[in-house]
Amino acid sequence: MTDIIYWNGSFVSEREARIEPADRGFTLGDGVFDTMLAIDGEPVWGPEHSERLKAHAKILKIAFTLDIEATATVLLEKNSFKKGRYAIRTTVTRGPGERGLAPPETQHPTIIMRASPAPEAGKTVSAAIARSVRRNEHSPLSRIKSLNYGDNLLALLEAKERGADEAIMLNTAGNVCCASASNIFIKERGKFFTPPLEDGLLNGISRAKFMAEHKAAEESISEERLRAADAVKLTNSILGTRQVSGFKA
């Protein structure tokens, strides 16, 4: 069975959907996305994901209309994904454009939503602190889920080469930022700390939930402090809260 995806207003089999070669999401990373968990056919934290995706698109001045929760619910139904945990990825781009960086005057955003079985949540992982690349806290993109995931990908490739499951990224000032696809928390004498958004990290929805639940405080965190922490946790809507078992040299 071919999976059904949502594609610019229709539900179609994935092989029928087509991204144009001139789509600026493909050519320039000109778009944003969201990854939302669904359990037993129901989106989790739907309103938060919906609001955030719109806010992130606004940073790139992309306007679009989509009821994420309702669309995700129909998508799951159409795929008969009734029981279990699924990851719903929504991608919104500025749509096709002529060559060059300047956006077209009239925008026809591309909207894609796919559902995939979610990987196991709450795993324990080993980590490596990425040396080949740092996150750019001097860019608004460091605080949104844009299609520009190249830096995080380089960090993850390096971590895998060094034998670790995950990469911890520092920002250009050398402070701890996040993992390649998670926010980060450290525990010191029973209290949790996480870096502030200004340090160049995504305003993760599970980060906000974890902060509220554990009364975590925002503070810039040095690499030394990370290594000395009593515990290190990574939060991600799909992967849940992962514990870091240790750091690769």
Question: What residues make contact with its own copies under the rule CB under 8 A?
Answer: 5, 7, 14, 17-23, 25-30, 33, 35, 59-61, 87, 89, 91, 93, 98-103, 112, 114, 116, 119, 132-136, 138-141, 146-154, 156-157, 160, 172, 180-181
Least distance from its own copies to the Cβ atom of residue 98, Å: 7
Report in angstroms the alpha-carbon separations of 20 from 80, 95, 108, 109, 142: 28, 8, 12, 12, 27
Question: Of the candidates 248, 216, 198, 246, which has an alpha carbon nearest to the alpha carbon of residue 207?
Answer: 216
Check: CB of residue 56 under 8 Å from CB of residue 32.
Answer: yes
The pairing of beta strand 4-7 with beta strand 176-179:
unpaired
**Of 152 and 183, CB closest to its own copies:** 152
Q: Least distance (Å) from its own copies to the CB of residue 41? A: 18
Closest approach of its own copies to the CB of residue 188, in Å = 27
**Judging by DSSP bridges, how do beta strands 231-236 and 240-247 pair with one another?**
antiparallel
- Least CB distance from residue 232 to its own copies, whole Å? 19
> What whole-number distance in Å separates Cα of residue 29 and Cα of residue 43?
26
Q: Which of 136, 216, 142 is nearest to 184 (CA)?
A: 216
Closest approach, Cβ 35 to its own copies, in A, equals: 8
Minimum CB distance to its own copies smaller for 187 or for 203: 203
For the CB of residue 215, give the shortest distance to its own copies in the complex, in Å: 30
Q: Pick the closer one to its own copies by CB: 83 or 99.
A: 99
Q: Within its chain, how far is the Cα of 199 from the centroid?
A: 17
Looking at the Cβ atoms of 58 and 82, the one nearer to its own copies is 58
Q: Which is nearer to its own copies, 5 or 186 (CB)?
A: 5
Nearer to its own copies, 141 or 216 (CB): 141
Q: How far is CA 227 from the centre of its chain?
A: 24
